[in-house]
Chain A
């Protein structure tokens, strides 16, 4: 052994270099539930502020005079005096910054302003419409989950044919546009079978077609994701272990595989709920169902800016709430997310 070789390794505790210790700060990982919720809350305030600001700016960019819209829309005969009066009343003659701050202040107190077209306060108007849309979207989400679960479990059980049929159905379903599906369902169930009303009536029967219209494409989407993850889970060693303990097919699926399979679908459900609310615009219009979506469509047509802003804000709040709900659901379904 030469000197060089002997010196090749220094014993532990060799002098540290003169370079200063750099300890870069890293964000602490939030794994506790309160920590997670607090982070979401802070995020939510920021998101709402951003939404309010963007809508405020966007509305300034829309060509045309809001005062004119208030007095009956573009093209209507308005006197300069009437316009001035309206401007004064809605604060449109103030500097932009003042208007912006005033709007933020109103939003913070839950006041969404006054509808130009309907001449009533936006907040109570939208709150009244909210229930119908939420019910529609929530039912659609539940139905979509049921469909997806059934489709995924069935198509991974029934051999090759079921597999191809299942994945084919999912792709077709996921690709169906709401407006086409709604029409097809009306033709099938109302015109041919006469079983269900073609427009949304107050009773539960009136909900069936709108819910199906929203649920089927989402079910196709969720089903694809669930089937893939179900297959992965069914092939994993812990399923083999369970079988080796004498677990039957049903036990393997219900106790082990489906829980794993639903994780990705759960995390997508927050997004899905948001897309259901926007899908409600189409569905509520087709089925003549009162709701947020139809209110929004009407408001856009007559340029009822406060209502549009109101809907946008409510949808933003909805998205945020759904994200929190999704987080909670994941928290419950996947213990690995919890703090060790």
Chain B
């Protein structure tokens, strides 16, 4: 268990043969003025043995992060904490003073947070961040600290430490950053590591590397509490899984058993929501899952009356029937170059061509930096290609003047990854949608302002809400007070306002929990069936792409390296890059 440094020398001897590195009994935490009332989490009990990994799984808001932070004495300002027992490495930590807690943090317990770009101080070199706990907890001199930092960097797979230590988090890639963050947490080799969503922001291949690193820490004897919303990721390294919901652990057990035969509803739902290996067209969200949605299903006749285009297109339903084959969106040899900060040119998009057929979904998959988003911007003519052309409904789009383009723009809807920042936070949902409806009315040049326009706009807003299954009570809310899934639904409703035939979705679900993601993917699927929409779905998540698309295009360094029918590409990938991507995807065993 010792890496052979002085750092571990001061570790307490653990008593007893059957040790538990972390022992939690009946933990409750709340933020109310009176301890014991209105707990955010309650009745939390678990143990973690050395070299064991317990995964705490649940949707956002289920209390996972609060649990982890309580184990560091960092539950938050004004938080109360009660427990029957809370022991780290055999010693009680329930009634520690602030100073006592400080002496333990970093030495007995390490914390790794989600987004390393902001979890490491962007103004400080990573060497300093990593050396911090050495400076705080040991009497090592500068040279010894430097040596230890090199050692830790090597251990997390960031060799070449001499130049690395002077870099800052912004200068590292996502994977390197996450490694550096882990290094800063294990500099003193704490026997217990709390890891909060370590791979959520990462590409699959990088994600796989980080999971490997965590596995090696586990072998080395570190006890790990892993927090995640993603059961597939967790399944790879967790020995045991505890599922949290509404502040309580609803199910706990060995990982294999729990994934194979979940006993609780919540666990079943989370497993069902994982999109990978689920055929196109199957619903991901479980029936009881639609907390967001109104009790009554949407009423198709209402919008068929007002949406002749959809009615016409719906003849192509059931969707995924490619008989019509009409190309609605076409990219021909798109090229886009950017000037990099160091003055050199970078080909962001390098000869990208594809066709999107009516009523089908094309999935564009690739890792960050592969040019997916630039492609989306080119398709929407938010930026223009250096060469190549975008055609919409057979007509020139990127090659047209903006005035000509404006007539085609209503046919293209856009859904963005970060719904929150795509809204004006001061506007209510009503205002956001009304704005979109008004814009669509003006673009269509139907019904100039006059009597009844306001009422018609209002009716249209309600119709849009119905289409994305949101209750009308949300109209007066502002984006900040909506859940992630509700926000993305509003984003989709806004994109539908102009009754587009094509929807370009850039990472539509990547900031959402798996179960919420499932609902949004189901919604997109429903909309396609009912309205004959053609979808371009951009994602780094192969599971999402596999589940949602008919055709798939794999992007690497600005080029499309493999295309084909989704089932075929996933069954027998030809390009080595596609093969490596698919190999890296975490799946349920």
Interface residues of A (CB under 8 A from B): 1-5, 7-17, 19-23, 26, 28-29, 31, 236-238, 240-248, 251, 255-256, 259-260, 333-336, 339-340
Contacts and interface: CB of A to CB of B under 8 A. Distances in A.
A8 B355 contact: yes
A243 B106 CA distance: 9
A230 B129 CA distance: 19
Contacts of B563: 9-12
B214 interface: no
Contact of B337 (A20, A23, A242, A334): A23
Nearest to A241: B119
B159 to A, nearest CB: 20
Contacts of B362: 8-9
B546 interface: no
Contacts of B360: 5, 8
B114 A237 contact: yes
B120 A241 contact: yes
Contacts of B399: 19
10 contacts: A4-B323, A4-B324, A7-B355, A9-B551, A17-B333, A238-B118, A241-B121, A243-B74, A243-B105, A251-B136
Contacts of B171: 340
Contacts of A259: 123
Interface in B307-358: 322-327, 332-333, 335, 337, 339, 341-343, 351-357
B541 interface: no
B58 interface: no
A91 B342 CA distance: 52
A247 B136 contact: yes
Contacts of B343: 28-29
B332 A5 contact: no
A12 B120 contact: no
A16 B351 contact: yes
A12 B322 contact: no
Contacts of B113: 237, 240-241
A100 B120 CA distance: 57
A241 B137 contact: no
Contacts of A8: 322, 325, 327, 354-357, 360, 362, 551
Contact of B115 (A12, A19, A237, A336): A237
Contacts, number: 172
Interface centre among A10, A248, A340 (most CB of B within 10 A): A10
B351 A29 contact: no
Given A16-B333, A241-B113, A245-B111, 8 more contacts: A8-B355, A13-B351, A21-B335, A26-B339, A29-B343, A31-B342, A237-B114, A259-B123
Nearest to B134: A245
Interface string B539-553: 000000000001101
B389 interface: yes
Nearest to B104: A246
Between A26, A238, A240, A251, the greatest number of chain B beta carbons within 10 A of the residue's beta carbon is seen for A238
A17 B387 contact: yes
Contact of A244 (B105, B168, B341, B388): B105
Contact of B341 (A16, A335, A339): A339
B72 interface: yes
Contacts of A5: 322, 325, 357, 360, 550-551, 565
A241 to B, nearest CB: 5
B386 interface: yes
A246 B133 CA distance: 7
A17 B351 CA distance: 10
B339 A29 contact: yes
Nearest to B568: A1
A237 B118 contact: yes
A150 B482 CA distance: 38
B123 A334 contact: yes
B388 to A, nearest CB: 5
Given A29-B343, A245-B105, A245-B185, A12 B332 contact: no
B561 interface: yes
Contacts of B121: 238, 241-242, 255-256
A80 to B, nearest CB: 65
Contact of A17 (B104, B118, B137, B388): B388
Nearest to B122: A336
A237 B119 contact: yes
A149 to B, nearest CB: 17
B102 A248 contact: yes
B123 A246 contact: no
Contacts of B110: 244-245
A10 B323 contact: no
Given A13-B351, A237-B118, A339 B342 contact: yes
Contacts of A236: 118
A42 B553 CA distance: 49
Nearest to A29: B341
Nearest to A7: B355
Counting chain B CB atoms within 10 Å of each CB, which of A15, A19, A21 scores highest? Answer: A19
Contact of B72 (A244, A260, A333): A244
Nearest to B181: A241
B107 interface: yes
B171 to A, nearest CB: 6
B170 interface: yes
Most buried by A among B114, B132, B324, B337: B132
B68 to A, nearest CB: 10
B105 A335 contact: no
A23 B337 CA distance: 8
B528 interface: no
Contact of B560 (A12, A240, A242): A12
A4 B325 contact: yes
A336 B335 contact: no
Closest 7 CB pairs of A and B: A4-B325, A244-B111, A16-B333, A245-B106, A9-B563, A246-B106, A14-B353
B332 A14 contact: yes
Contacts of B267: none
Interface in B94-148: 102-107, 109-111, 113-115, 118-124, 129, 132-133, 136-137
Contacts of A241: 111, 113, 119-121, 129, 181, 184-185
A251 B129 CA distance: 12
B543 to A, nearest CB: 21
Contacts of B132: 242, 245, 247
B6 interface: no
Given A8-B357, A12-B560, A242-B121, A19 B322 contact: no
B447 interface: no
Interface string B63-107: 000000100101000000000000000000000000000111111
A251 B103 CA distance: 14
Contacts of A12: 351-353, 559-561, 563
A32 to B, nearest CB: 10
Nearest to B169: A238
A340 B342 contact: yes
B564 interface: yes
B72 A238 contact: no
Contacts of A31: 341-342
Interface string B276-303: 0000000000000000000000000000
A19 B389 CA distance: 8
A339 B104 CA distance: 38
Contact of B553 (A9, A16, A244): A9
Nearest to A263: B123
Contacts of A247: 102, 132, 136
A16 B335 CA distance: 9
Contact of B333 (A1, A7, A15, A333): A15
B289 to A, nearest CB: 30
A2 B114 contact: no
A8 B352 CA distance: 13
